Amino acid sequence: MTYFKYIFFLALTTVLFSFKTQEKKLYLDPKQPVEKRVTDLMKRMTIEEKVGQMCQFVGLEHIKMAQQNIKEEDLNKNSALGFYPGVSIADIKQMIRDGKISSFLHVLGSKEANELQELAQESRLKIPFIIGIDAIHGTGLVDGSTIYPTSIGQASMFDPALVEEICRQTALEMRATGSQWTFNPNVEVARDPRWGRVGETFGEDPYLVSVLGAASVRGYQGNDFSKNENVLACAKHFVASSEPVNGINWAPADLSERTLRETFFPPFKSAIDAGVYSVMTAHNELNGIPCHSNDWLMKDILRNEMKFKGFIVSDWMDVKRINVFHRTAVDYKDASLQAVNAGLDMNMHGPEFYQNVIDLLREKKLSEERINESCRRILEVKFRLGLFENPFTNETSASKTLFNKNHQKTALEAARKSIVLLVNNGILPLSEKKYKKVLVTGTNADNQTILGDWAYIQPYDNVTTVLEGLKQTAPETQFTFLDQGWNLRKMSKDKITQAVEIARSSDLAIVVVGENSLRENWMEKTCGEETDRSDINLVGLQEDLVEYIKATGVPTIVILVNGRQIGVEWIADNVDALIEAWEPGSFGGQALAEILYGKVNPSGKLPVTIPRNVGQLQMVYNRKPSMFRPYAIGESSPLFSFGYGMSYTKYTYSNLVVSPDKIYKEGTIQVSVDVTNTGEVDGEEIVQLYIRDVYSSATRPVKELKDFKRLSLANGQKKTVAFAVPTQKLAFYDKNMKWVVEPGDFEIMVGGSSLDKDLLTNKIKVVD
């Protein structure tokens, strides 16, 4: 070969090699469309690496902590702590290098997140992790984050724009601490207050849950979750674990298809329409089939009917529980087969699932095509989140992002709007001149129970307790605090006696009671995940505390800090004021004090019905007509109704106009009403629109919320509120389970709550 031929050959080889190298790196080229990048990457993946994309583990620091706090035999019964017997940290690191892990959860800081992403860069294809966290109302599992009101409190605001902003800010704090995927929103419809996770939901009404769930998705994901300040949302839990047969998380749900389609499916469809790209299946079995192996739910409903394009993730260890709890699989391998064949894409969490799927592929019980479907969906998310370009987090960004001034402002605004005034016998707002000596007591008066579930103890300077809020808001008042201890189960009778003695010489008593959802006190908490109850009374001696203080004759105000409805009938009938604060977050104490002293006019409305006692269950506002009949003994009506909430001013509704009076099945109903602030202070009212199908081929609820608007009114001001109601909002599943608008009369009701006395009513006729 001559010299020139050699040079030509060398140059040609270099060019060809360059082209080949560029082609190999196509999936790393951010200018390429996501679909092409996914396809290119998958061509280079082994089947083992594809299965690895279906596997999620808990973080390494979490494993170290869990090994110190839980025994191996308790792993199957625990949904908060996890580790992997027989699998070391070194083993997991090697699995990362081998491309056998796709995702981590319970990684609570950018330092650990970056260390994991660095390990991923040591793998053959350098596929980054997507790191998930339960950021339910802020990144509450991370130290120093902003804690907003829990979801049930957010629902009390009836303010989708504010919910969206809360989620947008939460996304920023997540990104700053290394997470890109939140296991939220919880769009289950809460139908049983015994269930501990009511506070994690947006309440009992499918329309309200749908609207706020969609707002959450928009807040987390933006338009397409492709910007580096957005995160992936997850609609959970699919489906119906919020109406378990005995009120217990994981318990069976036995529900008709009509109930599923009318009550439980709509919020998921709304989240999917808003663009949610991950869905989590539910712990429970539905009509005898575990949700995690239910192909009707995952394939027929989610994929085919709702057109869901994203990926489906299991809940905590629930694939294994198909075998361990539900016993419809003979072992974990069989459970893995059932789940993947039914449509599950990612397992949370643990190493055995990986080997199960590999073995099932070798045995030809699972196809590579099925694995490709899951792998492609998961990789698409990672590309769209920009993780291939920048999987790392700037470890200095957290100090500028977490609990910043703007986030604090939003958290305070949300707390103010979430609090519901239930009873006021003229005592509120308080006068500092009249009530100079005030007793403050109760189990939730001066601690961080106001943060709620899915939060760890935060820096004390970041949290304003109820006592601190009172002292800040009314500095001239002499507040005497008697600590009743945070543990509701172990209250002291002596402490109650002491409180009574102080009350005798006080001008006023403020008693803060309720529940404890804090994860810090996992074994002692009374509400939240894995904390269901057989009744809905106040735990321990809390009601005794209120009764004995009230018996002294001192004016008494009760504040409830809790994550679900509590039956406080005696308290509601006897105290001077009752406030439902839910779990209002970092600035809950300040917001409560401002409301007590009239610096803020309360405006929250209940997103659930509050029963008098557990014997009234099920108690919801949108009941069927035959559901209401007086009990032989005991009250039949609820303690407080959906949509109810008092104000320091009065709103008068008038001039309800519904037009036209007749309409075809396809059209829009125009509704308007005048609302006047006839009181003496400015305020905000939540105007609610309900409908009723007067006669129908299948029974319909006596009321259904179909729209609402939050309205600001100065004292003496009148505004006309207009609603445009598409006739499709009148549709339902008829006796043949067809989605139709039936001809006939419909009642249109507008007012300040779901109570008949608070509603103006008009009619419209739908014609063929």
Q: What is the pLDDT of residues 415-473, one digit of tens each?
A: 999 999 999 999 999 999 999 999 999 999 999 999 999 999 999 999 999 999 999 99
Helix, strand, coil fractions of the chain, as percent rounded to 5: 35, 20, 45
pLDDT above 90 covers a percentage of the chain that reads: 92
The Cα 519–Cα 517 span in angstroms is 6
Mean pLDDT value across residues 627-656: 95
Contact 193, 611 (CB under 8 A): yes
Residue 406 is assigned to a structural domain of this protein? no
Mean pLDDT of the chain: 95
Amino acid letter, residue 446? D
Residue 635 is assigned to a structural domain of this protein? no
- Round to the nearest angstrom and report the end-to-end CA distance of the chain: 89
Q: Residue written as tokens 């987390």? A: 220
Counting Cα atoms < 13 Å in the Cβ hemisphere of 723 gives 28
17 shares a domain with 75: no
Give the pLDDT score at 23: 52
Hey, what's the torsion of the CAs at 210, 212, 214, 216, to 10 degrees? -150
Give the pLDDT score at 14: 44
Sorting pLDDT into bands at 50, 70 and 90, what band is 79?
confident
The secondary structure element, H or E, covering residue 120 is helix 110-120
541 shares a domain with 669: no
Domain extent at residue 439? 419-627
What CATH number did the domain enclosing 672 receive? 2.60.40.10
pLDDT digits 0-9 by tens, 668-697: 999 999 999 999 999 999 999 999 999 999
The Cα 137–Cα 141 span in angstroms is 10
Question: What are the angstrom distances between the C-alpha of 245 and each of 195, 328, 617, 636?
Answer: 10, 19, 11, 22
The Cα 655–Cα 580 span in angstroms is 32
566 shares a domain with 599: yes
43 shares a domain with 21: no
Mean pLDDT value across residues 239-253: 95
Closest CA to 173 of 403, 386, 392: 403
Residue 407 is assigned to a structural domain of this protein? no
pLDDT digits 0-9 by tens, 567-621: 999 999 999 999 999 999 999 999 999 999 999 999 999 999 999 999 999 999 9
Sorting pLDDT into bands at 50, 70 and 90, what band is 727?
very high
19 shares a domain with 111: no
Q: What are phi and psi of 336, to 5 degrees?
A: -65, -40
Q: For 593-681, list the strands marked E by DSSP.
A: 651-659, 662-664, 668-677
CA Rg value for the chain? 28
Sorting pLDDT into bands at 50, 70 and 90, what band is 70?
confident
Residue 440 is assigned to a structural domain of this protein? yes
Task: Please tell me whether residue 287 adopts helix, strand or coil conformation.
Answer: coil
Statement: residue 18 has pLDDT above 60:
no
Residue 336 is assigned to a structural domain of this protein? yes
Statement: residue 344 has pLDDT above 60:
yes
Task: Please tell me whether residue 299 adopts helix, strand or coil conformation.
Answer: helix
225 shares a domain with 112: yes
The Cα 482–Cα 69 span in angstroms is 33
57 shares a domain with 22: no
Residue 450 is assigned to a structural domain of this protein? yes
pLDDT digits 0-9 by tens, 739-763: 999 999 999 999 999 999 999 999 9
Residue 179 gets which letter from DSSP? -
693 shares a domain with 546: no
What CATH number did the domain enclosing 527 receive? 3.40.50.1700
The Cα 323–Cα 675 span in angstroms is 57
Cis peptide before 239 (omega within 30 of 0): yes
- The reported pTM is 0.96
Mean pLDDT value across residues 544-567: 98
The Cα 580–Cα 420 span in angstroms is 5
Write the CB contacts of 543 (distance below 8 Å, at least 6 apart in sequence).
513, 537, 568, 570, 571
- H-state helical runs in 618-685: none
pLDDT digits 0-9 by tens, 87-130: 999 999 999 999 999 999 999 999 999 999 999 999 999 999 99
116 shares a domain with 6: no
> What's the number of domains the chain is made of?
4
423 shares a domain with 394: no
Sorting pLDDT into bands at 50, 70 and 90, what band is 19?
very low
Statement: residue 80 has pLDDT above 90:
no
Statement: residue 15 has pLDDT above 90:
no
Give the pLDDT score at 64: 94
The Cα 219–Cα 166 span in angstroms is 7
Counting Cα atoms < 13 Å in the Cβ hemisphere of 700 gives 23
224 shares a domain with 304: yes
Mean pLDDT value across residues 510-535: 95
Per-residue tokens: 676: 């006047």
Closest CA to 193 of 488, 657, 526: 526
Mean pLDDT value across residues 611-635: 93
What CATH number did the domain enclosing 362 receive? 3.20.20.300
513 shares a domain with 471: yes
